[in-house]
Structure 1
Amino acid sequence: MSKSELIASVPYNERAIPIKEAKPWFKVSDSQMQLEGLCFDGQGHLFFVDVFGGGVYCLSLDEMELKQIASFPDENPATVKRRQDGRLFVCFLGDMKSTGSVISMNADGSDVQVVVDSSLGYVVDDLTFDKNGGFYFTDFKGYSCEPTGGVYYVAPDYQTITKVMGNMAVPNGVVLNLAGDGLWVTEMSQNRLHYLTMTDDPIVIANYGSSVPYNFTGLEGPDSICIDVQDHLYVAMYMQGRVMVFDRNGNPIEQVLIPERINQKMMRSTSVAIYPDKKKMILCSNDGEGHGGSWLYSCKSLSPGIV
């Protein structure tokens, strides 16, 4: 397909943003799997989840061998993240209303421990660790007309949970910048990208430190996010078959398109991750009720990723 065809599939107001084409890289399944939460461990493995199937998977990058390492039926895992010591943390949406949670486990799926209990009333979609050993997570709740979601901080002892930002409509992706003093958050149902300037206290936003550097276009909106070693921000766009890339100031500088999007296929692009040792991004998508299956796609990134 031609570049002009791809550009024509992009919202008119974003056609000037440079484009790259993603290529099919690994077929996960012939059937629909809601792939999410891509996470490299820096040791030759890529982890991800199947939201509605409840599985946590590990792809060995040397052998390109896929294994399911854990299963959580009916818990709806939304992402998997790696702590610096190698332990995996899995976020759960639960019943999508109030029974979400966070667990930790070894990289082989053993030694499962509860970190945020399902009785606390959250719907946990994503998390990002800070330098002190605590983490921020998004509470995936609300509607565009009823913003009841928010961002919360779990202290390093995992005993105290504090609201950092509220009144959000389905907050989704969350990641700290390289310095650890800026928090990026996507708000799916309001189609917004937030940036919070944090103080030395991880639960306190700096004076006038909250902004919306970008408003997205189209239905569904921004999903999971990650950064690279140059502080570029990568935002997967759900039901749009693409990833948008921003500089450290929140300016859009690039977009990566799944080619099938021109036929409204493979649109469920939920997550993106960058290889920690090379300029290569991986994004995931599935074809919903279509016949395209569930795939991982690849494309050159602006810089290597971080673990």
Structure 2
Amino acid sequence: MRRPPLAALATVGVLALTGCGTETGDPAAAPAGTIRAHEVMQLTQPHEETGMTLLEGPVLTHDGDLLVVDVTAPAGEPKVLRVDLRKKTSRGFHTDDRGAYTSAQFSPHDGRLYLTDFAHGDIVSLAPDGGDPRTFFSGEVDGARMNPDDIAFDRRGDLYISDSRGMSEGEPTGRVVRIDREGKNATVLADGLSAPNGISFDETHRGLWVSELTRNRISYLRLDDEGTIASRHTAVRVDGGIAQTDSIAVDADGNLYQALHGRPAMAVYDRYGERLATVEVPPARADGLESATNVAITPGGTKAYMTVSGPAGGYVYTFNAPGKGIRQSNGG
């Protein structure tokens, strides 16, 4: 999740936060390797208090609805929305007077929905129906408060978090933090990262893909049997031009879906770094849309839902993904 400008959240009193399938018709309208996404519905307008809207963290519920966070929603307006994809309707799922949430994930341990509060460094959880809000984790990790961006859960329910510290200063002080499923033990697994943003396990749970916003690269962190980092290297260098690497997801074939901030599009790579496709909003619909922040792919299917935002508002778009959805496909 690419944070809004500092002034946008200063106005709400928080810390710095900065149809479906490929398109048919004239082949010339879609260059080779392009997957056209199609609009499902508009969810939000720019908020008067913050001057913008930014949708993130799409995650599919067990009954097929889509949950989406609105990062810049002011107090009292929905900070998490529930979308009925069949009826194309939405309603508020959760709000509060404090959080600036950048991602959402269901835990395999307790089934609750976990949210990252980028501005305050907290992890908040909700019951599956949106009630019973709890602060799961708050405070410093190794002497520094987090700017938690995205979450990936391992099989037992421990949280692996991209801590995007240093983003506004452009310094490589970002981290990957692991918090045990009880919220009691927090450990820095990797540091020296440049505004880590997206995070997702690979399809085997043997490693983590982490996108670094200010270096436009995806790093691969190989894990040992204890879930700590055995090695790490730059795996993909993303040629995004003015666009930057945002959140990331993985499908059953191990393909990576790299969201782009600065362009309403996603880059799709295989596990070896070969670019397979670019998912993009049709040019005629792209005016006023600046970012495709994240994606959720239907478990066991290929229908994907992408969050797209800009001055024109916040939208959900859909496309046919090259691979089938798994847990790691819900926008890590």
Superposition TM-score, scaled by structure 1 size: 0.87
Match of 2:104 in 1: 80
Aligned-partner Cα distance in 2 for 1:29–1:152: 32
Match of 2:130 in 1: 109
* Local SS of the residue matching 1:189: helix
Matching residue within 245, 270, 278 for 1:222: 245
How many residue pairs get aligned? The number is 288
Cα offset for 1:225?
Answer: 1.3
For the 8 Å contact 2:218–2:235, the answer to whether it is kept is: yes
Aligned-partner Cα distance in 2 for 1:106–1:135: 17
Match of 2:330 in 1: none
Match of 1:140 in 2: 164
Aligned-partner Cα distance in 1 for 2:38–2:284: 12
Matching residue within 283, 287, 292 for 1:269: 292
**Closer/same/farther in 2, CA of residues 220 and 256 from structure 1, 3 Å limit:** closer
Which structure 1 residue ranges, 4+ long, deviate > 4 Å from structure 2? 1-7, 261-264
Aligned-partner Cα distance in 2 for 1:196–1:58: 33
Cα offset for 1:135?
Answer: 1.2
Match of 1:300 in 2: 320
Is 1:212 matched up with 2:234?
yes
For the 8 Å contact 2:55–2:71, the answer to whether it is kept is: yes
Aligned residue runs from structure 1 range 36-51, under 5 A: 36-51=56-71
What letter is aligned with 2:238? F
* Local SS of the residue matching 2:278: strand
For the 8 Å contact 2:102–2:117, the answer to whether it is kept is: yes
Matching residue within 232, 241, 245 for 2:255: 232
**Closer/same/farther in 2, CA of residues 192 and 268 from structure 1, 3 Å limit:** same
Aligned-partner Cα distance in 2 for 1:256–1:21: 6
Match of 1:11 in 2: none
Matching residue within 130, 144, 147 for 2:154: 130
Match of 2:274 in 1: 251
Q: Deviations over 1:101-137 (max 9, x none)?
A: 1011112221111112156511111110001221100
43-52 vs 81-90, greater mean Cα deviation? 81-90
Aligned-partner Cα distance in 1 for 2:175–2:256: 20
**Closer/same/farther in 2, CA of residues 261 and 180 from structure 1, 3 Å limit:** farther
What letter is aligned with 2:324? P
What letter is aligned with 1:29? T
What letter is aligned with 2:249? C
Aligned-partner Cα distance in 2 for 1:100–1:229: 31
**Closer/same/farther in 2, CA of residues 263 and 90 from structure 1, 3 Å limit:** closer
What letter is aligned with 2:137? V
191-200 vs 62-71, greater mean Cα deviation? 62-71
For the 8 Å contact 1:6–1:262, the answer to whether it is kept is: no
For the 8 Å contact 1:154–1:160, the answer to whether it is kept is: yes
Match of 2:16 in 1: none
Gaps of 5+ in 2: 1-24, 47-51, 328-332
For the 8 Å contact 2:264–2:286, the answer to whether it is kept is: no
For the 8 Å contact 1:176–1:182, the answer to whether it is kept is: yes
Matching residue within 207, 211, 215 for 1:186: 211
C-alpha root-mean-square deviation of aligned residues, in Å? 2.2
Matching residue within 25, 29, 34 for 2:54: 34
Cα offset for 1:302?
Answer: 1.2
Q: Deviations over 1:232-260 (max 9, x none)?
A: 11111111111111112232211101123
Cα offset for 1:304?
Answer: 2.1
Match of 1:150 in 2: 175
Match of 1:12 in 2: none
Aligned-partner Cα distance in 1 for 2:235–2:126: 36
Gaps of 5+ in 1: 8-16
Superposition TM-score, scaled by structure 2 size: 0.80
